[in-house]
A and B are shown apart, each in its own frame.
Chain A
């Protein structure tokens, strides 16, 4: 092949010379990853505080004067938007995508490091614009994270003026940032793999991140276009999404627009977004499970095709978020069917994770605890998805706490369990230190049991018909007193879980200095990122020569091998049987 020499050349690397080029205007994918990660965790903490405030109001109504109904809606909106976009998308793709892609495929850096750097700074700008909306007149938007017009830009919704404009601008900037990063991730995976690293030898982490990035590049355009159109509706008075309206007794100038069009555009982005968050998590948890069970991942090829199939299907299910918006029954049938078909590849993945654990040599270290915790939370969240995917069951449950419980389990708690697993797993590589085990275990049990204490009762609230996004229940006949006590108990659990994240933060910062020094490849992992000459890897990752890959990433406990793992770059040899053939190209 013609351009193979490119991967080996070091000319393109811009070696940093000063503190500023090394840590601030850095083009090294590892530094950019950490910048992305820290920024994402910071805004994530803001969103966590917002959720605590919401829970305080719900659990103990009439107790906190500063939480007004308007402020409550703003907390709901900003919590949702930050968690989905600015924390999960940014941390999984900008953070872990950046760190792991070049290391796992054996590249020196992303293919265009300068653009990668710009991606982070645009992301930071979008975060600043987002946070600025807390300080403008009227505060941030309170339209709900779906930002449905007409209410999002009409008087009566908090932040209908400045807040919504800043929100939309921030999203547009975020999309530009994501596109610059995403083009890099996709091109790096396709074109910059090292010798022997065929597509079907890549760790599942890379498959998950790669597919999610492709989804992002095709789904974010819908959000960008709808943001532009809503901005025009808000600022210069076009009527894309705005029908003729009477607001506060006044006839508005809008006429003839289509609010449902926005919902279609939003969910054409919004549904793939679920998988933009889920697929990298699927990938990373596969690698963590295989490594800590000392067993090859069950059904590698099936896992890859399941990731790709889920990615493809995620573009034809969006209207299942809109069953109550009014739709031709045939469309309801179509979207319910496609939605339930997604359960097939997803179930394949879950079975394969469980079968990977079956008869494995399981080491219950902290990353593994979180990975197994993920299987639990994901199965629970996934099963309730089957309820909501059916039109007839969705109609009564729509906009109740059942929906809140469902999506928090499946795309809130589950990816976050994997993120914790990933941080505990890769922290030794990133920092060269081990995290404290006892603190990690305490963090796991509080988080895992705590999330069940939060979300399990919410399913019952949903069955009772308790509506989501309400500031207070008031005196409604169908909601019994006991629902209020349930809400109080959920709030207490949420505060405990929120506080237990401080254990994690303490662990991360304390271990940076005082953690045990990490041995080389502490978990006995096979994939390339653990085989770098230096830990943490230096700029350029591989020293003078790129590694050569001889096998897939899952040669654990190979009978007859010296150790219970064979690294991907270990040459085949008479003493080592090569079971790597399974992952070969043929």
Chain B
């Protein structure tokens, strides 16, 4: 059947061909619906985190008291050694490792190796859960040290407000991701996607990598600045 579209323009070179391809009928991107939807959601979520971080920078600049020194606040005494930022370094390492296992899970899912996919997704979820666990430990320690959302012993009250709000919002994202991965992994194990294909693993992976990427920015702007 003649589709009525200008077929020759798809093969046209350069920008014209690209525009024609992108504006073609049926679909603009060569990917499943769910994947595109996840990309758009992540774009929207990027705005949420960007605005959180911009607001944090703004209140940090407008705060009337001095800002506490992050590397001192986030230091641990381990076996008598004073180690600044050690816990955050471990947490960051764990989260980035989980991105690696997730990428491998996506690879094995497309090869339809269900056993390895499930194991790697479980490992990813476990690493994510341990990240959340370490975060809970960090929060507990800070609260014991007297940091509260409305004040802290060292300086600007906004330090605690922004810290708990932003890491809390990110922690919720990680927790949601762990649950999401667990559900998808269970369905992979049951073979629910044998008909539909395994794009869902990649979609879950997109979300997971995004959450990791956001953490890198939080790490840079909150702990290193």
Contacts and interface: CB of A to CB of B under 8 A. Distances in A.
B30 A192 contact: no
Interface residues of A, number: 59
Give the one of A196, A571, A580 with max B CB within 10 A: A196
Interface stretch (B107-115, B154-162, B201-209): B154-162
A442 interface: no
Contacts of A571: 2, 4
A179 B48 CA distance: 12
Contacts of B63: 256
A551 B5 CA distance: 9
B78 interface: no
A513 interface: no
B1 A225 contact: no
B4 A191 contact: no
B37 interface: yes
The CB with the most chain B CB atoms within 10 A, among A187, A218, A222, A572, is that of A187
B93 interface: no
Nearest to B199: A3
B3 A258 contact: no
A550 B149 contact: no
A186 B40 contact: yes
Contacts of B31: 3
Contacts of B33: 3, 6, 111-112, 187, 191-192
Contacts of B43: 217-218
A244 interface: yes
Interface centre among A201, A584, A585, A586 (most CB of B within 10 A): A585
A406 interface: no
B190 interface: no
Nearest to A569: B4
Q: Is the interface of B mostly helix, strand, loop or mixed?
A: helix
A218 B1 contact: no
A571 B1 CA distance: 10
B44 interface: yes
B58 A238 contact: no
Interface in A336-390: none
Given A190-B29, A191-B29, A256 B23 contact: no
B27 interface: yes
B27 A4 contact: yes
A224 interface: yes
A548 interface: yes
B37 A112 contact: yes
Contact of B51 (A187, A200, A265): A265
Contacts of B16: 586
Contact of A221 (B23, B37, B40, B44): B44
Contacts of B6: 584-586
A240 B5 contact: no
B71 interface: no
B194 interface: no
Contact of B24 (A6, A239, A253, A585): A585
A51 to B, nearest CB: 32
Interface stretch (A228-236, A285-293, A306-314): A228-236
Contacts of A430: none
Interface string B25-41: 11111111110110011
A6 B29 CA distance: 14
Given A190-B28, A225-B48, A244 B4 contact: no
A240 B59 contact: yes
A240 B34 CA distance: 37
A257 B62 CA distance: 7
Contacts of A236: 149-150
Given A187-B40, A584-B5, A256 B156 contact: yes
A198 interface: yes
Contacts, number: 168
Given A225-B48, A256-B157, A548-B4, A183 B41 contact: yes
Contact of A257 (B32, B41, B59): B59
A580 B3 CA distance: 13
Interface in A88-111: 111
- Per DSSP, are chain A's interface residues mostly helix, strand or loop, or mixed? loop
A519 B194 CA distance: 47
A115 to B, nearest CB: 9
B1 A239 contact: no
Nearest to A218: B47
Interface in A560-582: 571-572, 580
Nearest to A180: B41
A550 B6 CA distance: 10
A198 B4 CA distance: 10
B140 interface: no
B64 interface: yes
B104 interface: no
B18 to A, nearest CB: 12
A3 B32 contact: yes
B52 interface: yes
Contact of A229 (B2, B64, B165): B165
Interface string B1-23: 11111100100000010001011
Nearest to A568: B4
Given A196-B25, A229-B55, A224 B5 contact: no
A2 interface: yes
Nearest to B39: A187
A261 B32 CA distance: 39
A193 B157 contact: no
B37 A183 contact: yes
A256 B62 contact: yes
Nearest to B7: A585
A232 B47 contact: no
A1 interface: yes
B23 A200 contact: yes
Contacts of A258: 58-59, 62
Contacts of B165: 228-229, 232, 238
Contacts of A7: 26
B65 interface: yes
A197 interface: yes
A183 B40 CA distance: 7
Contacts of B44: 179, 183, 217-218, 220-221
A218 B55 CA distance: 16
B150 A253 contact: yes
Contact of B65 (A190, A217, A256): A256
A483 interface: no
5 contacts: A3-B27, A184-B37, A255-B65, A548-B4, A580-B4
Interface of A: 1-4, 6-7, 111-112, 179, 183-184, 186-187, 190-201, 217-218, 220-222, 224-225, 228-229, 232, 236-240, 244, 253, 255-258, 261, 265, 268, 548-551, 571-572, 580, 584-586
Shortest beta-carbon contacts, A-B, top 10: A238-B161, A550-B4, A221-B47, A199-B23, A221-B48, A237-B150, A256-B64, A258-B62, A191-B27, A217-B44
Given A3-B31, A7-B26, 11 more contacts: A1-B27, A4-B26, A183-B40, A186-B37, A187-B33, A218-B43, A220-B44, A236-B149, A239-B157, A244-B64, A585-B20
